[in-house]
Amino acid sequence: QTLPNSSETVTEVRVEDDRTGLSVETLKRAFADNLFYIQGKFPQIASKNDFYMALAYTVRDRLLRRWLNTAETYSRNASRTVAYLSAEFLMGPQLGNNLINLGIYDQVNQAMQELGLDLRELLEEEEEPGLGNGGLGRLAACYLDSLATLEIPSLGYGIRYEFGIFDQDIKDGWQVEITDKWLSAGNPWELPRPEWSVEVKLGGHTEKRADEHGNFKIYWVPNQVVKGIPYDTPILGYKTNTANTLRLWKAEAVESFDFYAFDSGDYLGAVHQKTVSENISKVLYPNDNSAQGKELRLAQQIFFVSCSLKDMMRIMEQQKVPLEQFPEKFVIQLNDTHPSVAIPELMRLLVDEYDMPWEKAWGITKQSFAYTNHTLLPEALERWPIGLFGKMLPRHLEIIYEINKRFLDEVRMKFPDDTDRLRRMSLIDESGERYVRMAFLACVGSYSINGVAALHTELLKKDVLHDFYEMYPEKFNNKTNGVTPRRFMVLSNPRLCRLLNSKIGDEWIKNLYELKKLEAFVEDPEFRRQWREMKLEIKQDVADYIKKTTDIDVNVNSMFDIQAKRFHEYKRQHLNVLHIITLYNRIKANPDIDITPRTFLFGGKAAPGYYIAKLIIKLINSVGDIVNRDPDVRDRLKVVFLKDFNVKFAQRIYPSADLSEQISTAGKEASGTGNMKFALNGAITIGTLDGANVEIREEVGAENFFLFGLTTEEVYALKKEGYQPWEYYQKDPELKLAIDRIASGFFSHGDPKLFKPLVDHLLGNDQYMLLADYRSYIDTQDRVSEAYRDIDRWVRMSILNVARMGKFSSDRSIRDYCEDFWKVQPVNIELKEYVQATA
């Protein structure tokens, strides 16, 4: 026998390799091997975590083969690559998703069973990397899944936070934050690549000096240097051989700096320097939709951005692509403004370090970046005080001034004699304390600017970025968000998938528009019965979980009415609470009233410094305490706060929803993606005309969506004419009673002070117009209750929702990005066979 590629092959003996084979037998053998040689344990003393690790390494081996084939192919072809820069990647657990994408979930399930283990228990063992706050970070993760599935060469670049988003506990109804030590049991999915470490400069000052040829140049003399070490995680596509890379940077001290201090006798100083450096990647800022303005946060931004740009340049050098071709080799997508300091950093690298003329460098820069805006909230738009910025990044500030000078010349040319416009558009806000406006910088330095839902993009053009739209209309475009059906259907909802597959096959997993085919079965009573039964089983699972974790009994025949998302006033969880209190008040006034039983489920974290958001969590728990115990309620209403909402938990909860609460003030939620995950799992939405709700309603049909509330225009108009929340309170007795009960201390053991700040917000200025939308919300909820009583009608609506959600796959979003402005092509990856020849 000889090697298979030889022409004189006599007999080919193929032995399934333990690191690549996918059969049950091979998987069992590989698992035992990893338990022994990686974990160093034999089964009798192995912990559940050891078993999890052994399985994770077994799966990782199978990823590595695809990963190396992919890397080799990209490198050989010097393929055009998407670099997705994001301060957050909310990846969620990796094991289950990799099993799905490898197509070996069932084999592994069987292998574990035969070894006397329970795969579901092992999946539960995984500590998820919670390196994001919410929608923005999770979107980045969905996009990586779709990029790999569509075989698009791509790299995700971000920060390897040692502590991700805090774990949430609830004590006496209040949120308590606990450090997220996700790395403490080890992370089997990452590979450190110390050989590709880079250094990043911070602080200090700039000097103008002659170089060795006598030419004057700007030199940046930093007062701190930190080292970035890349940690790589393979990102496998669904049933493809493509495995792309998520590259996260960890900050460490530069040895030479330690030695310097050490040599000078300052041992403690040297150790301190190490701590300061490592602090940069220590913890994720836990803010959602609000800018922090802290020095360390800016350090995090420049840190990962500079590491990533230098990494791209290293890759180009290795692939022998000249630097001038940067925009052909890479398109850099800026996930919000957090990485927008990449624009001056690329300019600095090209001009200062590669001696490129400014114009040429600016040409390259402008063609390389594309910017996604994710918010309309003014408090979330990043701006850095000039003092702070210049202290940390003196050279970048100079570069921004130069960009601004040239940009304002351009504005002056296009709009002569319009000084107010110049003031409005300047990259430097000079209205009071001076700030760098990061969103404006991103607009000037990018060739594309997109919003994340149709309405959001229109509002950007009309309002937040209006001047930039007039300046560069051709840059603006919309890319409606999407979510990956692999994680949020296949992995999280196996019951639904079995039912779907039995009717329409499994093509929908790669082409979500295939779900349309379900419409043919909506009139089939047997199918509707199966659908109903499926939902009931899922709800039973969640009910069991609630019983186990909170000791609350919930009725699975009640409507599961769920609001799960970050806590923020604009998302209006407290409007939902006003509805609960209203129903409760109706029962108190008439205990025999005929109402549709509901279970209200809440999940979500509040930023630790956001007092009102935390008070809303307390309010939910306080109302729950009363409602759940009041004998008059007779179990018709239940209120449950599910603590520590994260990706793992989200996967469990979305499938169980009957009703999805998407009730933000119109014009505030850029898109929302939870709205998509709920509807894809058969929940009906009650929602405002906000973000992607507008498009969901368009797709599923107005008759399958419960719409309420003011439109964006009406919100603006009402604000303009002078909104008086007090008038709504006075006019509507149900609203008045609901608020009075909160204000009087009914839900706070008679203490009227506890919720006073919240009540004052509502009756004072009610920025998010809860009182204006209350009546419409309550009346619509009454229609929801009515509809749920006709369970057959409800099931039809549920089926039609799923059938018509095809648009909201992140595959569609990514295809749109690719075709519209990334201009990047799929690259097919061939798996080289591993064949063992016997001698």
Residues in the site for ligand GL9, rule: CB under 6 A? 133-137, 139, 288-289, 374-375, 380, 452, 481, 669-673, 691
Sequence-ordered list of residues with C-beta below 8 angstroms from that of 506, at least 6 positions apart, any chain? 497, 500
- Annotate 108-147 with b (16+ C-beta within 10 A) or e (fewer): bbebbeebebebeebbebbbbbbbbbbbbbbbbbbbbbbb
DSSP readout, 283-313?
Answer: B----SSS----HHHHHHHHHHHHHHHHHHH
Of 677, 804, 807, 812, the catalytic one is 677
Tell me how crowded residue 260 is: count the other CB atoms within 10 A of its CB.
14
Question: Min. distance of Cβ 669 from ligand GL9 in angstroms?
Answer: 5
Question: Min. distance of Cβ 110 from ligand GL9 in angstroms?
Answer: 38
Please say which residue, 34 or 480, places its beta carbon nearer to ligand GL9.
Answer: 480
Please say which residue, 139 or 150, places its beta carbon nearer to ligand GL9.
Answer: 139
| 457 catalytic residue (yes or no) | no
Question: Min. distance of Cβ 380 from ligand GL9 in angstroms?
Answer: 5
Please say which residue, 133 or 308, places its beta carbon nearer to ligand GL9.
Answer: 133
Question: Min. distance of Cβ 497 from ligand GL9 in angstroms?
Answer: 25
Q: What is the distance between the alpha carbons of residues 116 and 124, in angstroms, rounded to a whole number?
A: 16
Question: Min. distance of Cβ 710 from ligand GL9 in angstroms?
Answer: 18
Of 62, 160, 250, 374, the catalytic one is 374
Please say which residue, 242 or 372, places its beta carbon nearer to ligand GL9.
Answer: 372
Alpha-carbon torsion (187, 179, 302, 325), positive or negative: positive
Sequence-ordered list of residues with C-beta below 8 angstroms from that of 123, at least 6 positions apart, any chain? 93, 95, 96
For residue 57, what are its two tokens?
């390494």
Indicate the angle between helix axes 791-803 and 525-550, nearest 10 degrees: 90
Sequence-ordered list of residues with C-beta below 8 angstroms from that of 533, at least 6 positions apart, any chain? none
Question: Min. distance of Cβ 278 from ligand GL9 in angstroms?
Answer: 24
Of 571, 648, 741, 804, the catalytic one is 571
Determine the straight-line distance between the first and last CA of the chain, rounded to whole angstroms: 6
DSSP 8: T
Tokens 């549920």 map to which residue?
798
Q: Which residue is nearest to ligand GL9 (CB)?
A: 135
Of 274, 329, 383, 565, the catalytic one is 565
| 28 catalytic residue (yes or no) | no
Phi-psi region of 409 (alpha: psi -120 to 50; beta: other; left: phi over 0): alpha
Please say which residue, 305 or 800, places its beta carbon nearer to ligand GL9.
Answer: 305
Question: Min. distance of Cβ 81 from ligand GL9 in angstroms?
Answer: 22
| 614 catalytic residue (yes or no) | no
3-state secondary structure 768-817: CCHHHHHHHHHHHHHHHHHHHHCHHHHHHHHHHHHHCCHHHEHHHHHHHH
Q: Find out whether 482 and 809 touch, Cβ atoms under 8 Å.
A: yes
* Closest residue by Cα to residue 111 from 58, 168, 156: 58
DSSP 84: E
Q: What is the distance between the alpha carbons of residues 635 and 641, in angstroms, rounded to a whole number?
A: 16
| 565 catalytic residue (yes or no) | yes
Please say which residue, 66 or 338, places its beta carbon nearer to ligand GL9.
Answer: 338
Please say which residue, 50 or 180, places its beta carbon nearer to ligand GL9.
Answer: 180
Please say which residue, 514 or 820, places its beta carbon nearer to ligand GL9.
Answer: 820
Q: Which backbone phi and psi does 532 adopt, to 5 degrees? A: -65, -40
| 673 catalytic residue (yes or no) | yes
Q: Find out whether 148 and 489 touch, Cβ atoms under 8 Å.
A: no
Please say which residue, 102 or 139, places its beta carbon nearer to ligand GL9.
Answer: 139
Of 673, 688, 712, 780, the catalytic one is 673
| 571 catalytic residue (yes or no) | yes
Tokens 């958001």 map to which residue?
613
For residue 411, what are its two tokens?
């504005």
Question: Min. distance of Cβ 766 from ligand GL9 in angstroms?
Answer: 21
Please say which residue, 88 or 561, places its beta carbon nearer to ligand GL9.
Answer: 88
Q: What is the distance between the alpha carbons of residues 225 and 740, in angstroms, rounded to a whole number?
A: 58
Alpha-carbon torsion (345, 346, 352, 353), positive or negative: positive
Question: Min. distance of Cβ 668 from ligand GL9 in angstroms?
Answer: 8
For residue 147, what are its two tokens?
């990029």
The residues annotated as belonging to the active site are: 374, 565-566, 571, 673, 677
